[in-house]
Amino acid sequence: MKLLLIGSGGREHALAWKLAQSPLVETLHCAPGNAGIAEVADIVDIKADDMIGLIALIQREAYDFVVVGPEQPLAMGLVDALNDMGVRTFGPTQAAAQLESSKAFTKALCDKYKIPTAAYGVFTDIKEAKAFLKTMKAPYVLKADGLAAGKGVVIPETLKDAEAELKEFFSGKFGDASKTVLIEEFMHGQEASFFAISDGKTALPLIAAQDHKRAFDGDKGPNTGGMGAYSPAPVFTNEILATVMEKIIQPTIYGMAKDGHPFKGVLFAGLMITKDGPKLIEYNARFGDPECQVVMRRLQSDLLPILLAAEAGELDKAEAPAWFEEPVANVVLAAKGYPGDYKKGSIINGVEEVNEKDGVVVFHAGTRRGKNCGKLKANGGRVLNVTASGETLEEAVERAYDAVENIKWSQKQFRTDIAHHALMSS
């Protein structure tokens, strides 16, 4: 088959790496890709949010199958356009992607289908929002309704800070995304990211991972796209899995179909495992990044038949995927300053060498090759994902950090405590 993968992050490198291993794939293109993806796919220089460019490319190349990685093209309706053109595509339509692009949409679905989640209010008026805030307890959870690159959630500790923050939200802190604001009850517990694939009717459970959202050790500093991940997630027991499927995932897939926008694609549930059981924090309509990297490394089965079955509406006939037992850890290397300002263009050495080590696979995110020198250069905020497997999670983490030490890069910034929470509780 001739495939196009859309995206350029660590998530897409992991997907490209896995898809390239499929005996069904003859040709794999990736737009716009990165220097790592270029080693397993042919790169096409069209950005993931360039709808016109992508559609022209897809018409020209007559791909058999298109896989959409990031959220922007989904929210922009790329899958709808490709469905209209008769191109087989893996990913939700614009209406179904509202599970990610509108938090208010998801909360309304939770109400309607009794899906456990935090109590909340939705506001377009600051006075009403302030009055509601006074009825809530600290810490306060404020969320922009729309897409805000993972930064649209703020959790102030005091009412005064929460009121000041509300004002900023309504004055356009996140542009149109924060014209509508959600205020939620704060849930206590451990977080896990769980993934399921759906064909619109059936949900096929994948596995869970844990992410580290804050920039610095000890969960300090600003929120980021994610600084590391590991799988399995010890909090995510088989009992929790069964509850999540029954109370959260299945009612969502059922409700989305019943309401006229069946969800086909990867459903990424951000969950809080509370003392009253798992509750939904939020949905994303795509794989998580950096979680996808550890999930792909643990997936033993061929990924492509699963994606094809989801697109064809035939997941009920698909076999449950097989997984490697070995835990996998992922340490993200970001550029100094991320998630704030950072420099691009610094040279990175040692990636090829560490890729040779036992259990190690480095997935690229913001990287490119120097035009003349061919050297690997930093080209974004999150730059590399150092993944390692091991017989135990401890070994996986040790191997990952050993590889991190051997990557020579002047701008290297990373957390030194990936998976420490799980290691301490084991």
Q: Which residues sit at the interface with ligand AMP, rule CB under 6 A?
A: 118, 141, 153, 184-187, 191, 213, 270, 281-282
CB of 247 closer than 8 Å to CB of 278: yes
Give phi and psi for 218, each to the nearest 5.
70, 25
CA distance readout (Å), 245 to 99, 202, 271: 17, 11, 12
Bridge partners, 154 (sequence order): 142
Binding span for ligand GLY by CB under 6 A among 75-83, 137-145, 288-296, 418-426 = 288-296
Cβ of residue 5: shortest distance to ligand AMP, in angstroms?
Answer: 25
Among 36, 70, 226, 366, binds ligand GLY (CB under 6 A): 226
Closer of 202 and 330 to ligand GLY (Cβ): 330
Q: How far is CA 203 from the centre of its chain?
A: 18
CB of 286 to ligand GLY, least distance (A): 8
Give the shortest CB-273-to-ligand AMP separation in angstroms: 12
Among 12, 184, 289, 302, binds ligand GLY (CB under 6 A): 289
Q: Minimum Å distance from CB 292 to ligand AMP? A: 16
* 3-state DSSP of 106-175: HHHHHHHCCCCECCEEEECCHHHHHHHHHCCCCCCEEEECCCCCCCCEECCCCHHHHHHHHHHHHCCCCH
* Distance of alpha carbon 166 from alpha carbon 154, whole angstroms: 10
If binding is defined by CB under 6 A, does position 251 make contact with ligand GLY?
Answer: no
Smallest gap, in angstroms, from Cβ of residue 104 to ligand AMP?
Answer: 12
Does 339 sit behind a cis peptide bond, omega within 30 degrees of 0 on the bond before it? yes
* Between 165 and 211, CB nearer to ligand GLY: 211
CA distance 93 to 169: 28
CB of 31 closer than 8 Å to CB of 4: yes
CB 149 → ligand GLY: shortest distance, Å? 9
Cβ nearer to ligand GLY, comparing 131 with 149: 149
In the complex with ligand GLY, the residue whose CB is nearer, 288 or 359, is 288
Shortest CB 291 distance to ligand GLY, Å = 6
Helix, strand, coil percentages, rounded to 5, for the chain: 35, 30, 40
Q: Residue holding tokens 């737009």?
A: 31
Residue of 414, 411, 413 whose CA lies nearest to 377: 411
Least distance between ligand AMP and beta carbon 187 (Å): 4
Task: Give burial (CB, 10 Å; 0-12/13-18/19+) of 45.
Answer: exposed
Of residues 5 and 118, the one with the C-beta less far from ligand AMP: 118
- Are the C-beta atoms of 155 and 148 separated by less than 8 Å? no
- By the rule CB under 6 A, 284 interacts with ligand GLY: yes
Contacts of 347 (CB under 8 A, 6+ apart): 370, 375, 376, 377, 409
Q: How far is the CB of 73 from ligand GLY (least distance, A)?
A: 15
Q: Does residue 265 belong to the site contacting ligand GLY (CB under 6 A)?
A: no
Copy the structure tokens of residue 371: 């035009």
Specify the stretch interacting with ligand GLY by CB under 6 A; choose among 134-142, 249-257, 281-289, 358-366: 281-289
186 vs 108: CA distance, rounded Å: 18
Give the number of residues written for the chain. Answer: 426
By the rule CB under 6 A, 191 interacts with ligand GLY: no
Question: What is the nearest approach in angstroms of ligand AMP to the Cβ of residue 356?
Answer: 35
Stretch that binds ligand GLY, among 42-50, 135-143, 196-204, 283-291 (CB under 6 A): 283-291
CA–CA dist 342, 380 (Å, integer): 8
**Is 89 or 284 the residue whose CB approaches ligand GLY more closely?**
284
Burial (CB count <10 Å: 0-12, 13-18, 19+), residue 236: buried
Q: 281 touches which of ligand AMP, ligand GLY, none (CB within 5 to 8 A by kind)? A: ligand AMP
Distance of alpha carbon 57 from alpha carbon 68, whole angstroms:
14
Q: Can you tell me which of 53, 77, 150, 277 binds ligand GLY, judged by CB under 6 A?
A: 150
| Cβ proximity to ligand AMP, 53 vs 270, nearer residue | 270
| 251 or 288: CB nearest ligand AMP | 288
Nearer to ligand GLY by Cβ, of 202 and 224: the residue is 224
Question: Looking at beta carbons only, is 88 or 214 nearer to ligand AMP?
Answer: 214
From the list ligand GLY, ligand AMP, none, pick the one residue 282 interacts with, judged by a Cβ distance below 5 to 8 Å according to partner type: ligand AMP
Site for ligand GLY, rule CB under 6 A: 150, 211, 225-226, 284, 288-289, 291
